Amino acid sequence: MDELNFERVRPAPKNGYEWAVAVGLGTPERRAALSALVVTTVCYIAKWPRFCFKDNGTLRRFQVTPDEDDDETTNRHFIVVPVVAAAVGYLFF
């Protein structure tokens, strides 16, 4: 039986950054992609994108201040939330 070589074993991560590097999230781009993926998955599970579509399946127009009685526009857009999550993940994590 071969002897174990303990010189090649890495020490356990001591803080959040070392843990992120150990699991492959050592760059801001990878952390941004992961945060966007997680937020997109949560939004999809919560059925949030359905507010962005009409009953016939077409996309509603995005308007910052939509009219109350206008069913054709919305102030929600399904791509804004993941993009903001990616930006926060890139800048702050």
pLDDT per residue over 31-62, tens digit each? 999 999 999 999 889 888 888 888 888 888 88
For residue 80, which of 53, 52, 47 has the smallest C-alpha distance? Answer: 52
- Would you list the DSSP string of 40-63? HHHHHHTTGGGGGB-TTSPBPEE-
pLDDT for 41 = 93
pLDDT for 13 = 78
The pTM score is: 0.66
Interatomic CA distance for residues 7 and 70, integer angstroms: 68
* pLDDT(9) > 70: no
Interatomic CA distance for residues 69 and 54, integer angstroms: 14
User: Which residues does 7 contact at the CB level (< 8 Å), separation at least 6?
Assistant: none
